Structure formats: C-alpha cells, structure tokens
Amino acid sequence: MTTSKVPSLKFPDGFLWGAATAAHQVEGGNFNTDCWTLEVTKPSLFLEPSGDAVDQWNRFADDMAVLSAVGMKSYRFSVEWARIEPEQGKFSVAALDHYQRCINACLERGIEPVITMHHFTLPLWVVRGGGFGAPSFPDLFARYCEKVARSLRGISVVCTINELNVPLLVRELIESRLMGPASAARIELAEKALGAPLKTSFLFSPAEALIDNGLSAHAKARDAIKSVLPQAKVGVTLAIQDEQAEPGAEHIRDKRVADYITPFLNGVRGDDFIGVQTYTRAVARKDGSAGPTPGHRITVMGYEDRPQALAQVCRYVWEQTKTPIVVTENGWAGNDDRRRCEFIRDSLTELHAAINDGVDVRGFFYWSLLDNFEWLVGYAPKFGLIAVDRSTQRRSLKQSALVYGQIARDNAIQGAAAAALSDAASETQGRLGGGALGIG
C-alpha cells in the first residue's frame, strides 16, 4: 500500500520535532544529588537505583547520530546542576565543557538543542540549604542558569524548570508510597542520608515552595538567561492532565485544576512559550478521587491510555493563556511498540486538528528518546523510541522511532491509517539499515 492516496496532515513550517530525556534518567553516576542519595539508602523509597542509567554521559554523540538519522530535528535534554555547581558558588569547567560538547554534537548534525536547567534532581548542598522552599532558592537558581547561559554557546531554547507543578499532581501517589508499616523508619533513614527533611527534595516539595519560590525562581532565571542571551526563547514546563469529571463531580475537577494548574498558568502567561507535558486524562469522581475511567485500557504507568488527552490540554492552555505552546513531553509506556506507534499517530492527529483550530503549538517532543530510569519505579516502564540493553548499553531502534522519524521528516502525518505508518517505517528501515548504525 502506498501513502500517496491518503490525505496528508501537514504541520506548520518550522514546527520543531524532537525527543526528550533528562540528565538523571540517562547519564548515569549522578552521585551528588538528592535522588541518588535516596536511591542508594537502604531500604529506599525508590524501587531500584539509577546506577549507570543508559550511560548517555559517554554516548551522547552516538545517540545524536541515531536521532538525526531517523529524522528528528531537535533534542531536549537537561544539564545537571549538581555537576555544574557541585559546591555552592564553585562551578565545574569540566562539566560545562562536557555539556558544550553535547551541544556541539547536536549542532554538527543540524539538531536544535533544547536545554532544561532543572529536571527533578537537586545538588545535595541545595537540599541541605532548604531546597525550593529556601528564601535564597530563586537567586541561587538564577545565578546557576546565568552561568550556564554565559558559558555555553549555541543555546537558543531553554526550559528553566521541568514540571514545576508536578509534586502537587503526584502528591497522593507519593504519600501512599510513604505510608505503611515500614515508612516511618524509611523516611527517617532518607532524611538522615540527605541531611535535610524530605520536603527539601523537589518531588516532595509543598505547594508554597513551588507556587511562591518556584515561580519566582523561574522568573528570575528567565530574566537572567535573557540578560545574557536576549534572543533565546525561555519557558517553564508544566505537568497537565486532561482533567474531566463524571456528572456531579465537576467541583472535584475544578479544585484539582485550581490546585495544580491555575496558579502556574497565571504565573507564566506571556512567557515565550509554555512547555506542556501531558500523558493522560484524569476523570474526577463523586467520592473525591480522580483517575482512569473504569474499564478503559490503561498503560503500565496505570494511566488511562488516551492519546486525545494532549490536544485537549493544549486547547485548554491556549484558551487560558494565549501563550505559544511547545509540547515538551508526551509519550506512551509499555512493551507493545505497535500501540506506541498508534498512540503517537493519534496524539499528533488530534494535535494537528487543534493547531488548525488556531491553537499556537510550535513543537512536539516525544518522551522519551530512550528507555530510561523512571524515577521511583525504576527501569521497568519503557517509554523509549530506542530500547537499551543495560547489560551492554547496546541500543536498538523500535519501529516507533522509524514511524515518528518519518513524521518529523515529512513535517506531516501522511494519512491516518496504521498501514501508512508501517510503509513509512519500512521505507526508513530500508534507507538506514540497522547494521550501518551498529544498532539492533
């Protein structure tokens, strides 16, 4: 079957197509952070330690070769504060040089690097000083961001803080993990190892620390970056689910939105862009809970498997803020790569319709480029377009990488049929030849 007879859903010129990762989830050996410390404290709140992760610290350029070969145009990755400023006020030239080499590896291949300054992990000295809640936090964060902006060449798009609001979205989940018979002892051990209360670690931060200090840290960092790089586009990213309600539970949904979405949208309206990160829909119920619709297919993350959620959220964010959107994360976790292909196609088809209706979306970053360390739940959930055998660190392309790469190359979905996607994939597979890349 050829793809020529099916309609082509063209995206706007200059639409940025990429994939995303975060330092702690892929680099490996990120010792000087709160998360590493919590992972290796026994018994741990984390299912397993990140360890070598997928060794992107040493394999960055190889990963960029693959990303560009399959057709993507951009890579969103984070630089690690704990490596760049391992002690307060002391900056590591070696770490900055490393990230310069990463940026160069992108630029040499025509890949636009999108840099995230903070993606969940904090240097130990920051948590020991009070984390996001410390009065000094906004200035410390802005100083670090300014240092990065001054030191690294080739940066034009920056996300200051990844999912500034996510601790509020996952609070119930985290609290449920912290309950149970052994938890008081686990928390005590965790706090002893950190040398600070658990709430100084980003994922455990309370609302005030995020809404007051977090938004102020973002604003100061944005201004500091722009003072050095006036042309740079700077935004924050937010975790936003498609919040819906069963009849009679609208007030529950509205409270959820008021708690974890509205203060943040109000705080960043008018930025260069808002990074939207959507994985699912949550339906509020009259008993006060919210989650997947009963009976609906769910992913290994326990999320309702709902590709339509992304476009719904983009419509909502646009309506509320009239601020350009970059989808900085959207993806599907599980081993059924065929379903991942469908999920990507369906999310993008809905997104295309939203763009046609006037929603200003400038780019899309699939989460994640590689299977990687999924925080508290370790390595089991597989989000990647590229699989990694962690016993050898060998990469192998999944079909979804080829499908998505073809969409990126065409700047269009060539028809809505799954068959068309397979055609696209096999064309790309033929062109690339797995062997040439030394992968799968």
- Binding site residues, ligand BGC, CB under 6 A: 22, 25, 162-163, 166, 239, 277, 329, 367, 374
Give the nearest distance from C-beta 27 to ligand BGC in angstroms: 13
Give the nearest distance from C-beta 87 to ligand BGC in angstroms: 26
Q: Which is nearer to ligand BGC, 30 or 414 (CB)?
A: 30
Give the nearest distance from C-beta 94 to ligand BGC in angstroms: 25
Give the nearest distance from C-beta 1 to ligand BGC in angstroms: 34
Q: Which is nearer to ligand BGC, 25 or 32 (CB)?
A: 25
Q: Which is nearer to ligand BGC, 133 or 384 (CB)?
A: 384
At 81, the amino acid letter reads W
CA–CA dist 206, 115 (Å, integer): 26
Q: Which is nearer to ligand BGC, 118 or 352 (CB)?
A: 118
Q: Which is nearer to ligand BGC, 265 or 424 (CB)?
A: 265
Give the chain as a 3 state SS string.
Answer: CCCCCCCEEECCCCCEEEEECCHHHHCCCCCCEHHHHHHHCCCCCCCCCCCCCCCHHHHHHHHHHHHHHHCCCEEEEECCHHHHCCECCECCHHHHHHHHHHHHHHHCCCCEEEEEEECCCCEHHHHHCCHHHCCCHHHHHHHHHHHHHHHCCCCCEEEEECCCCHHHHCHHHHHHHCCCCCHHHHHHHHHHHHCCCHHHCHHHCCHHHHHHHHHHHHHHHHHHHHHHCCCCEEEEEEECCEEEECCCCHHHHHHHHHHHCHHHHHHHCCCCEEEEECCCEEEECCCCCEECCCCCCECCCCCECCCCHHHHHHHHHHHHHCCCEEEEEECCCCCCHHHHHHHHHHHHHHHHHHHHCCCCEEEEEEECCECCCCHHHCCCCCCCCEEEECCCCEEEECHHHHHHHHHHHHCEEECCCHHHHHHHHHHHHHHHCHHHHCCC
In degrees, rounded to 5, the angle at the alpha carbon of residue 371 between the alpha carbons of residues 368 and 373 is 95
Give the nearest distance from C-beta 368 to ligand BGC in angstroms: 7
Give the nearest distance from C-beta 329 to ligand BGC in angstroms: 6
Q: Which is nearer to ligand BGC, 240 or 432 (CB)?
A: 240
Give the nearest distance from C-beta 78 to ligand BGC in angstroms: 9
Give the nearest distance from C-beta 374 to ligand BGC in angstroms: 5
What does DSSP say about strands 394-397 and 386-389: parallel, antiparallel, or unpaired? antiparallel
Give the nearest distance from C-beta 277 to ligand BGC in angstroms: 6
Q: Which is nearer to ligand BGC, 16 or 96 (CB)?
A: 16
Give the nearest distance from C-beta 239 to ligand BGC in angstroms: 5
Q: Which is nearer to ligand BGC, 97 or 172 (CB)?
A: 172
* Structural contact between residues 352 and 9, judged by C-beta atoms closer than 8 angstroms: yes
Q: Which is nearer to ligand BGC, 22 or 257 (CB)?
A: 22
Q: Which is nearer to ligand BGC, 329 or 337 (CB)?
A: 329
